[in-house]
Amino acid sequence: MIGEVPYQEAFEELKVPVASEAILRLLEFEKPFEMHTDMSDKAIGAMLVQEGHPIAFEGRKLHRDKLRYLTHEKEMLAVVHCLQVWRHYLLSTKFVVKMDNMPNTYFQTEKKLSSQ
């Protein structure tokens, strides 16, 4: 296509503004955190946010057995994984988990949960 930038080049260009001081901020433990999670068919990811500004990013590729998980299971896998990664930030403060998968908002009232 005309004007199309190769993926790696586009990714390198995107890394500069995302990692710049204007975007990323240092965390402040007295303020609440938000953890925004998302998933795709092959990966999970999240962003730790404070007052609308990203603090940290996390993501990982899903391995063979996890690729067969249902959508809501992958979404919860992203939450659990990021809670483990950012545990040292989140233990001492209040935080909210935000996700775009509506069925997971009812997981505490579900009568039957899968082992995943």
pLDDT tens digits for range 64-97: 888 888 777 888 888 889 999 999 888 878 888 8
Residue 14 CB neighbour total at 10 angstroms: 10
The per-residue pLDDT for 112 is 59
Position 54 confidence tier, pLDDT thresholds 50, 70, 90: confident
The per-residue pLDDT for 87 is 93
pLDDT tens digits for range 11-53: 787 777 666 655 667 778 888 999 998 888 888 889 999 988 8
- The domain spans of the chain are 31-102
- Mean pLDDT for the stretch of residues 61-66: 88
pTM: 0.69
Top-tier CATH class for 31-102: alpha beta
The answer, yes or no, to whether residue 1 has pLDDT greater than 50, is: no
The per-residue pLDDT for 84 is 94
- Mean pLDDT for the stretch of residues 106-114: 56
